[in-house]
Amino acid sequence: MSVVETVLNNGVFTITLNDDKRRNSLSAELTTELVAALDFADNDASVRVVVLTNSGSVFCAGANLSERSSDGANTSSFVPQTFFGRFRHSPKPYVGRIAGHCVAGGMGLAAAMDISVAVDSAKFGFTEVRIGVAPAMISVVCLPKLRMVDAQAAFLRGHRFSAAEAARMGLINAAVTAEALDAEIDAIVNDLLAGEPGAIAASKQLIATVPTMDEQQAFEWTAELSARLFASDAAREGMTAYLEKRPAPWVP
């Protein structure tokens, strides 16, 4: 039985972590299947939006400690170094539907999403220090979302905190009741489907690239990007649809 389930429906590709027995930990098996699902999502033109969620009460418990303790220093066989960063560089929008607890490496998955919403009963935490390690690779995707004082407290204390606190810290976008979770995710997905795929990819590129540039370089690069987008067939179609008060052709 697969530990990662996938469904494609009307442009929405839902990936479900389904290894309840191992608390959806990042085992070699789960990571391999998840990477395969991400490869499909990123390369199939029919996929417009990707939703990553979980079955059971845990979204992701981080590293599979049974495997890691026997593997020693060889961590790359379990989580590729590019794993957490690939979401940021994908042209597709990724939405986290966090329907359970999220700790350690699971925090990296949650923070790597473009938009993420969790149930308010979920607990979060960078618990690595309590087993003698540090939140190393996930810090690359988590630290840009955190104030330094929040990062210091969370990384060093290793305590668990609420979904509402995770939202306040900027790791996720919102915490909602279990009853409201699907409606919130549906609203986000519908907004993303209303955006033109190339424009969404360009917007993600802006978010990833502009902060790495100095001001002059950023203005020059974004001016070129803006000109290219405005000259595209998609933009002409979108502007015409707007002026004619009708949906753009990419809107479901």
pLDDT digits (tens, 9 = 90+) for 123-159: 999 999 999 999 999 999 999 999 999 999 999 999 9
pLDDT computed for residue 146 by the predictor:
97
Over residues 198-210, the pLDDT tens digits come to 999 999 999 999 9
Q: How far apart are CA 109 and CA 130, in angstroms?
A: 20
Give the pLDDT of residue 50: 98
Quote the CA–CA distance of 203 and 206 in Å, as a whole number. Answer: 5
Catalytic residue among 5, 33, 128, 215: 128
Cα–Cα distance, 201 to 224 (Å, whole number) = 16
Residue 229 has pLDDT above 60, yes or no: yes
Q: Which residue has the tokens 């957490």?
A: 84
Identify which of 50, 171, 56, 189 has the alpha carbon closest to the alpha carbon of residue 118. 171
- Between the CA of residue 175 and those of 81, 161, 171, 202, 225, what are the distances in Å? 29, 12, 11, 28, 35
224 three-state secondary structure: helix
User: Which secondary-structure segment (H or E) carries 115?
Assistant: strand 115-119
Q: At 13, give phi and psi (nearest 5°).
A: -105, 110
- Return the closest-CA partner of residue 87 out of 103, 110, 70, 64: 110
Note if 128 is an active site residue.
yes
Residues β-bridged to residue 123? 162
Q: Percentage of residues in the chain with pLDDT exceeding 90?
A: 91
